[in-house]
Amino acid sequence: MDQYKVLIACGSGIATSTVIANRVKDLLQDNGYKVKVDQVKVVEVEKMAPHYDLIVASTQIPSTVTTPYVFAINYLTGVNKEGTDQEILNKMQEIASQ
């Protein structure tokens, strides 16, 4: 089984990204994906993105980034977290099928 690399980004790379990272890691592992999750500040995303399979962020990332991305503010607001879960799983399914 392949290990997938997921980059979690927020404004500071600490507080909100930890909440998102924990949920994403649990979600993906519970669905059979072996993952390595790293947390960064959003200003670091552009240079790091090519080394990751998926980016999940609590804020918008630079438009120049081509790595698949999910905007996960719902994990912080509590509104429609399940919809964000499904979006992440859909992206991972696409990534895994390549």
DSSP per-residue string spanning 16-59? HHHHHHHHHHHHHHHTT-EEEEEEEEGGGHHHHGGG-SEEEESS
- What is the pTM (predicted TM-score) of this model? 0.94
Mean pLDDT of the chain: 94
Contact yes or no for 74/84 (Cβ under 8 A): yes
Percent of the chain with pLDDT over 90: 88
- How big is the chain, counted in residues? 98
Is residue 1 pLDDT above 70, yes or no?
A: no
Residue 59: CB atoms within 10 A of its CB come to 15
Residue 55 pLDDT greater than 60, yes or no: yes
Domains located in the chain, CATH noted: 4-97 (3.40.50.2300)
Region of residue 87 (phi > 0: left; psi between -120 and 50: alpha; otherwise: beta): alpha
Query: What pLDDT digit, counting tens, does each position of 9-36 carry?
Result: 998 877 888 999 999 999 999 999 999 9
